[in-house]
Amino acid sequence: MEKRTDSNTPTIEALREERDALKRENAELILKLKWFEEQLRLGKERQFGVSSEKTNSVQLTLSLFNEAESDANPQAPEPTVETITYKRKKKQGQRQEKLENLPVEVVNYTLSEHEQTCTCCGGDLHDMSTEIREELKIIPPQVKVIRHVRHTYACRHCERQATQTPIITAPAPKAVFPKSLASPSAMAYIMCQKYLDAQPLYRQEQQLKRLGVALSRQTMANWMIYGASHWLQLIYDRMKAKLVKQDLLHADETTLQVLKEPERPATSKSYLWLYRTGHLGPPIVLYDYQTTRASKHPARFLADFKGYLHVDGYAGYHALQSITLVGCWAHARRKFSEAIKALPDSAKDSVVLAKEGLAYCNNLFKIEQNLKKSNASDEERYQTRLKQSKVIVEAFSAWLKKQTPRVLPKSALGKAIHYCRTQWEKLIVFLQDGRLEMDNNRAERSIKPFVMGRKNWLFSNTPRGAVASSTIYSLIETAKENGLIPFQYLSYLFEQLPNLEDQTNETLDKLLPWSSSLPENCKLSSQQS
C-alpha cells in the first residue's frame, strides 16, 4: 500500500532546500560580521592609533629569489631590527646660530662718572670686563595710518604772465585697492593670517579690534578678493604657463564647501584640484576651484601639458589625452597597512598575507631610500630600478594573481589586492624613467595646508571667494616651496604690480617666486629655511 503524505507536511527536498538556503544566509552573515569587525578596528585605529605609516622592515615569509625553499622554516621567529641610539654632542655656538639673523638692540649698563671712583682709595675705576645676557624681545603687531600727501606745484611767474600755467604733481605710488584703507602690507598680512596660519576672518576681526582698529570681516574679504583677482591672478597665470611646459607633474584633489553656488544647495561638495611640479624645474604649486570632481576639469587645466602625471587611483584622470599616468605606491602600501590594522588581535602575531603584500612595497621603497641617500642621478636611478626594483615588481604581480581567489573581495586585504591589480599599469610606469617618483606624496604634502586650514575656516561663502582662495593659496605655497617669506613676498607684489607700466610676460616673470630679481628681504635665510 502506497504511503501518503499530508499536503501541509514539507517534503525532504523542500527541507534540504531550506537548509541550504539557511547555510548560505549564515555564511553571508558571517562575512558581513567579519567586514563590520574590520571596519570597527580600522575606525578605532584611525581615531586613536598612530597616523604615521612607517613600518618596521618586514621580511617575506616566502623567499622571493632564493631557490632553496627546502631550507625555509615557517616556525622560525622573525629577525628583529636592532635600533642603535646615541647621544649627539651639542654643537658649540648653536644658540648664536639661531639668533644671528635677528636684529640686535644693545643696552649698556655703566656707572656714571662720579660713581667710577674707588671706595677704598678714591682712585679712578677702569672698565675691566663685561657681562653679557641675551634675551628675546617680542613686539606684538602694531597698526598705524600712513597718510599719503601729494603736493602739487605751479609757477607763479606763469600764473601772472603766461596764458597757461604748468601744474606738476609729485609722483606717488598707486594704491593697491583705490578708495580703501588697504595697503600692500595690510592686504598681505590678512591673507597670510588666514591661508598660512589658518586664522578665520572673524578671529582676525577680533584681533584687530584689540589693537584699536574696527575692520569688519566683510571689508577684509573684499580686500582679499580684489587683491587676488586684480593682482595675484597675473602671477598665477604666468606660473600656470610655466607649469604646463614641464615634463613631470603631480595632481590631487580634495573637497571644499561653497555656500552660495548658483543652483546648488549649500551642503553640496565642491573640489579644490591641485597641480604641482616634481623635483625638476622651479617649484610651482597651483590650486584650481571647481564645482565637481569630473574628469573634464583636469582635462581643461592640463590641455597644453604633455608628459608624466603622478596621481592616485582616482579614475577621473584616465580620460586625459597625451598624458602618461604614474601610479602611487604609497597608496598601495597604505592599503596593506590598513589590512594589517583590520586583523583581529589573535592574528596580529601570525604571518598573514597582508604582511607579505606590505613587505613587497617596503622592499621597493627601501631601494628608493638608498638611491636618495647616495644622491643617485636620474640615469643611475633608472638602471638600479631595472636591476633591483623590476624583479620585485614582477614577483609582486605573480603574488597578487595567486592571492586574488584566496581572499574575500570586500575584506580590507581583498581591497588592497584589488587596488594594486586595477592600478597595475600605472604602478609600473615608474620603471620607465629615472626622473619619475614612486609615489604622489609630493602632491599630498602640498594639499595638506589647505586641508588643515579648512578645519578652521570650514567653507567659502561664494564662488568668487573660492577662486580667490585658490589663487592666494597658490602664491603662498609656491612662495614657501621657493624659500620665500610669504608675507614679505605678497607685500612686494602688492607694491610692484599696481605700479607696473606694462604688464608684459617679461615684467611679470621678474616677479615670479623663483626670480633672481626679488629683493633679499623676501627670502628666507639658510638658518630659517
Average pLDDT score over residue span 335-355: 73
CA angle (232, 235, 236) in 5-degree steps: 85
How would you class 148 by CB atoms within 10 Å of its CB: exposed for 0-12, middle for 13-18, buried for 19 or more? exposed
Give domain status of residue 338, yes or no. yes
How would you class 194 by CB atoms within 10 Å of its CB: exposed for 0-12, middle for 13-18, buried for 19 or more? buried
Average pLDDT score over residue span 483-506: 94
**Is residue 301 scored above 80 in pLDDT?**
yes
**Is residue 155 scored above 80 in pLDDT?**
yes
pLDDT at 21: 80
Average pLDDT score over residue span 272-291: 93
Confidence grade of residue 77 (pLDDT, cut at 50, 70, 90) = low
pLDDT at 160: 81
**Is residue 79 scored above 50 in pLDDT?**
no
**Is residue 196 scored above 70 in pLDDT?**
yes
Nearest to 425 by CA among 357, 326, 333, 319: 326
Give domain status of residue 209, yes or no. no
pLDDT at 35: 64
Give domain status of residue 182, yes or no. no
| Ranges 266-270, 271-275, 503-507: which has the least confidence | 266-270
Highest-confidence segment of 21-30, 369-378, 454-463: 369-378
DSSP state of 138: -
Length of the chain: 529
pLDDT at 44: 62
pLDDT at 70: 41
Give domain status of residue 400, yes or no. yes
Give domain status of residue 528, yes or no. no
**Is residue 219 scored above 90 in pLDDT?**
yes
Average pLDDT score over residue span 161-184: 90
Output 24 or 212, whichever has higher pLDDT. Answer: 212
How far is the C-alpha of 333 from the C-alpha of 358, rounded, in Å? 6
Rg (CA), the chain: 33
Give domain status of residue 40, yes or no. no
Output 34 or 52, whichever has higher pLDDT. Answer: 34
Report whether 267 contacts 257 (CB < 8 A): yes
Average pLDDT score over residue span 368-376: 93
Copy the grid coordinates of residue 232: 595675484
Output 259 or 380, whichever has higher pLDDT. Answer: 380
**Is residue 74 scored above 80 in pLDDT?**
no
Confidence grade of residue 96 (pLDDT, cut at 50, 70, 90) = low
**What are the pLDDT digits (tens) for 128-137?**
888 888 888 8
Average pLDDT, the chain: 84
Report whether 490 contacts 188 (CB < 8 A): yes
Report whether 217 contacts 202 (CB < 8 A): yes
Nearest to 194 by CA among 482, 471, 483: 471
How far is the C-alpha of 195 from the C-alpha of 452, rounded, in Å? 10
Average pLDDT score over residue span 518-527: 83
Output 139 or 371, whichever has higher pLDDT. Answer: 371
Half-sphere exposure of 189 (CA within 13 A, CB side): 12
Helices (H), 374-462: 378-384, 390-403, 412-422, 424-427, 441-457
**Is residue 364 scored above 70 in pLDDT?**
yes
**Is residue 350 scored above 50 in pLDDT?**
no
**Is residue 208 scored above 60 in pLDDT?**
yes
DSSP state of 187: H
pLDDT at 65: 39
* 239 alpha-carbon distance from chain centroid: 18
Confidence grade of residue 414 (pLDDT, cut at 50, 70, 90) = confident
**Is residue 60 scored above 60 in pLDDT?**
no
Cβ contacts of 456 within 8 Å, gap of 6 or more: 198, 199, 200
**What are the pLDDT digits (tens) for 431-451?**
999 999 999 999 999 988 888
**What are the pLDDT digits (tens) for 81-95?**
444 444 454 454 566
Give domain status of residue 419, yes or no. yes
How would you class 80 by CB atoms within 10 Å of its CB: exposed for 0-12, middle for 13-18, buried for 19 or more? exposed
Confidence grade of residue 14 (pLDDT, cut at 50, 70, 90) = confident
Residue the block writes with cell 602632491: 443
Residue 276: phi, psi to the nearest 5?
-150, 160
Question: How is the chain split among helix, strand and coil, in percent rounded to 5?
Answer: 50, 10, 45
Confidence grade of residue 2 (pLDDT, cut at 50, 70, 90) = very low
Average pLDDT score over residue span 286-301: 93
Q: pTM score > 0.75 for this model?
A: yes
Please state, for a pLDDT cut of 70, what percent of the chain lies above it.
83
**What are the pLDDT digits (tens) for 98-133?**
677 778 889 998 988 888 888 888 888 888 888 888
pLDDT at 39: 66
Confidence grade of residue 46 (pLDDT, cut at 50, 70, 90) = low
Q: Could you give the number of structural domains in the chain?
A: 1
Query: Could you give the strand order of the β-sheet that contains 307-310, starting from the edge strand earlier in sequence?
Result: 285-290, 269-277, 248-257, 307-310, 323-326
Domain residues for the domain of 352 are 329-434
Residue the block writes with cell 582676525: 204
Give domain status of residue 391, yes or no. yes
- What are 285's strand-pairing partners? 276
